[in-house]
Amino acid sequence: MSQIMTQALQTTCNTLPSASVSCVDSYLQTLRKFPVLSREEEYELAVKFHQDGDLEAARSLVLHNLRFVAHIARGYLGYGLPLADLVQEGNLGLMKAVRRFDPERKVRLVSFAVHWIRSEIHEYVLRNWSIVKVATTKAQRKLFFNLRSAKKRLGWFNREEVETVASDLGVKPEHVLEMERRLSSQDSSFDLPVGCDDEDESTFAPAAFLESPEATPEELVVTDDWESKTYGQMHSAISTLDERSQHIISQRWLTDTKSTLHELAAKYGVSAERIRQIEQSALKKLRGAIAL
């Protein structure tokens, strides 16, 4: 059934103009060409789709109900998101509703689909509104949408209004105040704003204050102590090598531009194999000294 619905969705999308920013008006005008279905017509199409897998029936159900999606999507323009995106998300909800719609329950498709349409639009708003991204609980997300519709004026709620809204929505007054604060505040950038100098010590972004799991004082002290001890042992061990071995180790391991065995062999007038043997012997001595 899901494969059938996918094919129906693709057919529908190919029929209508894209709901992009540049052609929203054209899209909405096209929807007017599809009149509202009667109860009998809707029932017949739903039966054909669910019992016979009729793609044309599914396509008709979707096309003739898209106008309702656009109407619902307009109610979310206050969130500052593009109408085209809201409509497209709502269309996905309509597709899911058509797939799950049971014509035998004697309920109109649009009444059943409202839940799915709003659900998809809500998820889109939550994904794209930074104020809500910190509202992680289900109750806080529900409060976010209800509070916007309950608020009838600009500015902060007074105490009486807070108590009234909390009672109506079934939440605690402090939750209303917290969400009111979020809705009344401006978004702040998580990273440094464009144009700011990363090296400016007087400018910090919220990202700079995140706790690092590895930054506990104990671990920092242990790491610093281990590095100091290791570097000290390495320096002492290298000082015990003869001058030629020190130079070979330095050129092979401790410089950015490393020398090859043949280059060192030419410098000391020996074979590359001899340089390799000196190198291996020196490394063995260093490992032994550090392991003590």
In tens, the pLDDT along 164-218 reads 777 777 777 777 777 666 665 555 555 555 555 555 555 556 555 555 555 566 6
Tokens of residue 92, six digits: 């996905």
CA atoms of 34 and 66, how far apart (whole Å): 9
pLDDT tens, position by position, 55-66 = 888 888 888 888
Q: Is the pTM of this model over 0.85?
A: no
CA atoms of 38 and 67, how far apart (whole Å): 15
75 neighbors 81 (Cβ within 8 angstroms): no
Say what the pLDDT of residue 33 is. Answer: 83
Domain ranges of the chain: 2-128, 138-184, 217-291
Say what the pLDDT of residue 271 is. Answer: 93
How buried is 130 (Cβ within 10 angstroms: 0-12 exposed, 13-18 middle, 19+ buried)?
exposed
Buried b (16+ CB within 10 A) or exposed e, 93-116: bbbbbbbebebeeeeebbebbbeb
Please give the average per-residue pLDDT across 31-46, as a whole number.
Answer: 87
> What is the gyration radius of the CA atoms in the chain, in angstroms?
34
CA atoms of 47 and 98, how far apart (whole Å): 11
Fold classification of 2-128 is Four Helix Bundle (Hemerythrin (Met), subunit A) (1.20.120)
Whether residue 256 is predicted with pLDDT greater than 60 in this model: the reply is yes
CA atoms of 132 and 179, how far apart (whole Å): 9
Listed residue (66, 112, 111) closest to 92, CA to CA? 66
Whether residue 252 is predicted with pLDDT greater than 60 in this model: the reply is yes
Listed residue (47, 51, 56, 44) closest to 8, CA to CA? 56
pLDDT tens, position by position, 78-114 = 777 788 888 888 998 998 898 888 888 888 988 888 9
Tokens of residue 161, six digits: 């209004």
Q: Any idea what the Cα angle at residue 52 is, between residues 46 and 57, rounded to 5°?
A: 40
CATH of 217-291, one of 3.50.50.60, 3.20.190.10, 1.10.10.10, 3.30.70.141: 1.10.10.10
